[in-house]
Amino acid sequence: MRKIAAITILTLRTAIRSRLVAALIVILLIAAVILPGAVRGDGTLPGQVRMAIAYTLGVTRILLSMAALWAAAGAIALEVEDRQIHMVMTKPITAFQVWTGKWLGLLFIHAGMLTIVGILLYAGLMWTLHRSASPAEQDLLREHLYTSRLRIVPEEPDLTTEIQARFNALRQATDGDTSLPDDTLLANLANSIRAERLVVAPGQSRQWILHVPGCQSTVDSRVITLRYRFVSSFRDRLPVTGTWWIGNPDEPRLGSIPVDEKPEGVHRLDIPASARSSSTPWVLTFDNETRDKSNTVVFDFNRGIELLIEDGTMGANLFRGLWIILAQLALLTAVGITVSTGFSMPVTSFTTTALLCICLLSRWAADDSLTVSGDHHGTSSPPPEIVPILTETGEWIINRVAHATNPLFAVSPSNRLADGIRITWAETGHSTLWMLLIYPAILAAIGHIILRRRELALPTT
């Protein structure tokens, strides 16, 4: 441990003396102090606070990620090029200890930067709450932003029977002659049926089931908000008028809340204690008014409705969010140091940037919504045999890369914190396990092997 600590301290001293750290501190101070006051959001104070949190943490995350890759790329590669690594490797110290000391030194720098940003951001938010807000705005901020809220989404209904029935009917109608394979056709039918269930025409109703943890009785003082997103089929005509009903499977209409909303956007509705169900699961029902009073409603496909339940403080949520950002930076640093054990500085910078781009593209390509559904305009000639093989191989590689990098993108701390959504301890532990322990340990072992086998005492030319 003493040898690792010595390398860590040496890395810290080198970084502190460099201009990169000083420049980062100045830029982060601007992002944490000046940027929150420069953004305006939607013109309201809550909108300004949301934008301030999202922009501050977003800029911090991008800057530190770039700095992590750059500093890690030169952590060992530059020392090899300048012949400084010889002073270390000739001593009784292993390549693993060198790798670990470099990684810990850079990690401590990132932790210090995030601590500064977190303290300034929290202080700025508290100042906004007590000095810049009216009593009504203060209550709104405390209930919806200056807290952490548990997000509950509806359970996915079982559509297997309906999907299979439509699939059989379609096959029978076309005599089994379609341009799509069965799995693609089933996926398209599933998406089509889910989309149909999000449409509520005038005079119709739609129901959702949500498993709310705990018993939300009338004595529960926590703020519970129903947030829903929809668009209307006729934006220039009537508003959306209807009624939300709250109940349980036995009595689905225990409490009601009438609504009269604009035809599109995100809407929030605080559920009063008198309208809450005392048992779980909750059943939420939306009744749309008749055509002469309302329009057809189309709820958002991904986040049509959700319950937000007060479940913690903003300070603890901010700590968990910053910790996950630190874990992400730790993984990026580990990748950069490992690559730098085998290549020179320019090659290391290019390789680490390319790896990050590949991970981002794989994550994007693995999205189910991007699946190509095929040609719907008649029959087509069968593709050559090599095409399906290449397609399947490419999809397998993309899915494996997306699965391997899932811990890096599973949680977006800046978006969660800006929306007041709780980052759970389970998510924090999962990120810590993979990005601070498992993946760095694997990369350290790879870096140890490469550095041991690399020729370091090359003659100068």
3-state secondary structure of 292: coil
Cis peptide before 281 (omega within 30 of 0): yes
Say if 257 falls within a structural domain: yes
Does 120 share its domain with 186?
no
pLDDT per residue as tens, the chain (461 positions): 788 888 888 888 887 887 777 888 888 888 777 777 676 666 677 777 888 888 889 888 888 988 888 888 888 887 777 777 766 666 678 888 889 999 999 999 999 999 999 998 888 888 877 776 677 777 777 777 788 888 898 988 888 888 888 888 887 877 766 666 777 788 888 888 888 888 888 899 999 999 887 655 544 677 888 998 888 766 556 788 899 999 888 888 888 899 888 777 788 888 888 778 777 788 999 999 887 778 888 888 878 899 998 888 889 999 999 999 999 999 999 999 998 888 888 888 888 888 877 777 776 766 644 444 444 444 445 555 565 676 677 777 777 777 777 777 778 898 889 888 899 999 999 999 999 999 999 999 998 888 887 766 554 54
Instruction: Give the Cα separation of 90 and 98 in Å (integer).
Output: 12
Say if 460 falls within a structural domain: no
Does 91 share its domain with 187?
no
User: What CATH number is associated with residue 174?
Assistant: 2.60.120.380
Q: Which of 279, 310, 341 is the last residue of a domain?
A: 310
Could you tell me which residues come within 8 angstroms of residue 287 by beta carbon, excluding any fewer than 6 positions away? 205, 242, 243, 245
Q: Which of 310, 331, 353 is the last residue of a domain?
A: 310
Does 337 share its domain with 438?
yes
pLDDT tens digits along 291-328? 777 888 888 887 889 999 888 888 999 999 999 999 99
Does 304 share its domain with 331?
no
Instruction: Give the Cα separation of 49 and 28 in Å (integer).
Output: 18
Does 32 share its domain with 137?
yes
Does 327 share its domain with 445?
yes
Say if 424 falls within a structural domain: yes
For the chain, what percent of residues have pLDDT higher than 70?
84
Say if 244 falls within a structural domain: yes
Does 30 share its domain with 129?
yes
In degrees and rounded to multiples of 5, residue 134 shows phi and psi of -75, 165
Alpha carbons within 13 A on the beta-carbon side of 160 = 1
Bridge partner list, 240: 261
Does 195 share its domain with 280?
yes
Contact (CB, 8 A) for 154 and 210? yes
Q: Render 19-69 in DSSP notation, one character per residue.
A: HHHHHHHHHHHIIIIIHHHH--TTSSHHHHHHHHHHHHHHHHHHHHHHHHH
Say if 154 falls within a structural domain: no
Say if 139 falls within a structural domain: yes
Question: Model-level pTM?
Answer: 0.82
Please tell me what DSSP assigns to residue 239. Answer: P
Does 441 share its domain with 400?
yes
Does 179 share its domain with 209?
yes
pLDDT tens digits along 211-263? 887 655 544 677 888 998 888 766 556 788 899 999 888 888 888 899 888 77
pLDDT at 245: 92
Could you tell me which residues come within 8 angstroms of residue 103 by beta carbon, excluding any fewer than 6 positions away? 330, 333, 334, 337, 440, 444
Domains contained in the chain, number:
2
Does 296 share its domain with 325?
no
The helix (run of H) or strand (run of E) holding residue 416 is helix 413-419
Say if 304 falls within a structural domain: yes
Say if 461 falls within a structural domain: no
Domain containing residue 341: 2-148+314-453
Does 199 share its domain with 300?
yes
Q: Which of 289, 310, 331 is the last residue of a domain?
A: 310
